[in-house]
């Protein structure tokens, strides 16, 4: 029997384990969901919206437990209060726009013809969610998936198995039928088998590039719709007219928050020559004041990474960069609590794009900062990446920002902000970051299929 096990980064010990479904049990779960989905889809949209809204509210009742168990499962300090605020913002926004997003598109209603397009649910939707923002990343698809009339199956990361249980409890308590929203513990092999059997009409995966390739391989020949949010190496660019203090505070927080384990975290920063020294000086002061330690303590500002393996990857990238000529600016003596999953934050200068730390996803508390002479050099460096999720531009000139933004190969461009998902905008990426789009009206379009009606009156 396969077991899903979470080893806590807090102490390196087993925190929770759950038995995985066998392939036959998983097939039975999907069959029940598909059968129940037909009745769920026939319910009035307003009723589905109301029930899902209630589920979001219900989840908030257990926020204290969610915050503590997140610290144990993936290491985020309790002082930051968990993810419920973001869950509610995204979930309620998607509920608010459901009627408009799913409304039929009327083309003609004349004496001779009635022509229109509707949105039909895929039927069964599988969500494979990551551990780094386990509630918010899941809710991006759970809420619109349910509201659109699908049966939703949530397979959460092995690092955060309690998250799926919390979400299932909340939505079931609110009235979502048990078979319509199912939290399932599945092995990689069983997941691949189900996808290859076309068990689902749509699969949404957030994770690594190799994981995305595995999803595509499993779905090959089935014509199953896929939404893939994979790696990232998001840049920030600080121009000479930027608000320097705001730029430093925001970009460094974007690089280091959650121990750098953010899908749209800042992993490389380009600063115009005239501001470079001041930017670096301020950044070093901010990072040097962090406190690395037990995430269950209120004084901790930087917890462990979710897994020793992840921390070791960042250590390797950093050591390689230093060996190649990069300079590390943060004093290790300031962070005595290092070891295993506990990784000190680091700022690197004298870096270039030959170094892995500037090219490969780090997903940890390290950032390289490079000096640039102008927009053209910054743009070339920002685009010199295999990934394209977000980019952050810092200037007081909106027209200039838009000109640069139009040339960046990425999914989202921010001006004077970073590391945020606006639920009104499509969350998407390009290159090896993946394909598809979540949230916004487009999120509903990806969780449904168009159906056209050409009705000729007699």
The catalytic residue positions are: 229, 263
CA–CA distance, 304 with 217 (Å, rounded to integer): 33
In this structure, is the dihedral angle defined by the CA atoms of residues 38, 42, 47 and 49, taken in order, positive or negative? positive
Which residues 6+ apart lie within 8 Å of 39 measured at CB? none
How far, CA to CA in Å, does 418 sit from each of 237, 253, 257?
A: 11, 9, 12
CA–CA distance, 375 with 378 (Å, rounded to integer): 5
For 72, list phi and psi in degrees, rounded to 5: -70, -40
Q: Which helix (H) or strand (E) holds 443?
A: helix 440-446
10 Å CB burial of residue 45 (0-12, 13-18, 19+) is middle
Residue 408 three-state SS: coil
Closest alpha carbon to 146 in 449, 457, 430, 447: 447
- Do the Cβ atoms of 146 and 221 come closer than 8 Å? no
Closest alpha carbon to 134 in 67, 234, 50, 211: 67
Residue 41 three-state SS: helix
- Do the Cβ atoms of 295 and 77 come closer than 8 Å? yes
In this structure, is the dihedral angle defined by the CA atoms of residues 184, 187, 190 and 191, taken in order, positive or negative? positive
CA–CA distance, 399 with 376 (Å, rounded to integer): 16
Closest alpha carbon to 361 in 78, 132, 73: 132
Which residues 6+ apart lie within 8 Å of 225 measured at CB? 122, 201, 202, 203, 446
Beta bridge partner(s), residue 124 = 151
CA–CA distance, 199 with 179 (Å, rounded to integer): 15
Closest alpha carbon to 421 in 87, 15, 30: 87
DSSP string for 256-319: HGGGG--TT-EEEEEEEHHHHHHHHHHHHHHHHT--BS-TTSTT-SB---S-HHHHHHHHHHHH
């Amino acid at each position: 029997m396969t077991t899903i096990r979470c080893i806590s980064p807090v102490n390196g010990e087993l925190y929770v384990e759950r038995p995985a479904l066998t392939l036959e049990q998983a097939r039975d779960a999907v069959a029940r969901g598909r059968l129940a989905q037909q009745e769920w889809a026939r319910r009035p949209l307003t009723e589905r919206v109301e029930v899902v809204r209630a589920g979001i509210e219900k989840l908030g009742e257990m926020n204290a437990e969610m915050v503590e168990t997140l610290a144990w499962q993936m290491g985020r300090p309790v002082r930051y209060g968990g993810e419920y605020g973001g869950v509610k913002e995204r979930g309620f926004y998607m509920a608010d726009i459901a009627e408009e997003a799913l409304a039929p598109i009327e083309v003609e209603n004349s004496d001779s013809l009635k022509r229109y397009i509707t949105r039909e649910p895929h039927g069964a939707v599988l969500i494979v969610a990551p551990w780094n923002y386990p509630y918010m990343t899941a809710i991006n698809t759970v809420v619109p998936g349910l509201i659109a009339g699908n049966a939703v199956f949530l397979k959460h990361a092995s690092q955060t198995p309690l998250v799926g249980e919390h979400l299932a409890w909340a939505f079931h308590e609110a009235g979502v039928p048990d078979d319509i929203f199912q939290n399932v513990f599945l092995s990689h092999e069983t997941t691949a088998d189900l996808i290859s059997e076309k068990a689902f009409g749509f699969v949404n995966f957030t994770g690594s590039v190799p994981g995305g390739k595995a999803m595509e391989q499993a779905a090959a020949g089935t014509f199953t719709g896929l939404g893939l949010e994979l790696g990232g190496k998001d840049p920030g660019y600080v121009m000479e007219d930027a608000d320097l203090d705001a730029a430093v505070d925001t970009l460094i927080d974007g690089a280091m928050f959650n121990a750098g384990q953010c899908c749209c975290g800042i992993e490389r920063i380009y600063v115009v020559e005239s501001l470079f020294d001041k930017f670096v000086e301020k950044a070093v002061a901010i990072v040097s004041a962090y406190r690395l330690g037990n995430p269950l303590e209120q004084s901790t500002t930087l917890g462990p990474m979710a897994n020793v393996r992840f921390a070791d990857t960042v250590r390797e990238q950093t050591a390689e960069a230093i060996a190649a000529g990069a300079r590390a600016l943060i004093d290790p003596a300031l962070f005595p609590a290092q070891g295993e999953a506990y990784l000190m934050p680091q700022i690197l200068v004298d870096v270039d794009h030959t170094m892995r730390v500037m090219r490969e996803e780090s997903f940890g508390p390290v950032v390289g900062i490079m000096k640039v002479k102008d927009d053209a050099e910054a743009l070339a460096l920002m685009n010199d990446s295999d990934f394209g999720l977000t980019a952050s531009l810092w200037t007081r000139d909106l027209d200039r920002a838009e000109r640069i933004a139009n040339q960046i190969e990425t999914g989202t461009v921010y001006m004077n902000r970073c590391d945020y998902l606006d639920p009104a905008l499509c969350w998407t990426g390009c290159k090896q970051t993946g394909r598809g789009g979540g949230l916004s009206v487009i999120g509903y379009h990806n969780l449904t299929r168009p159906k056209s009606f050409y009705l000729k009156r007699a």
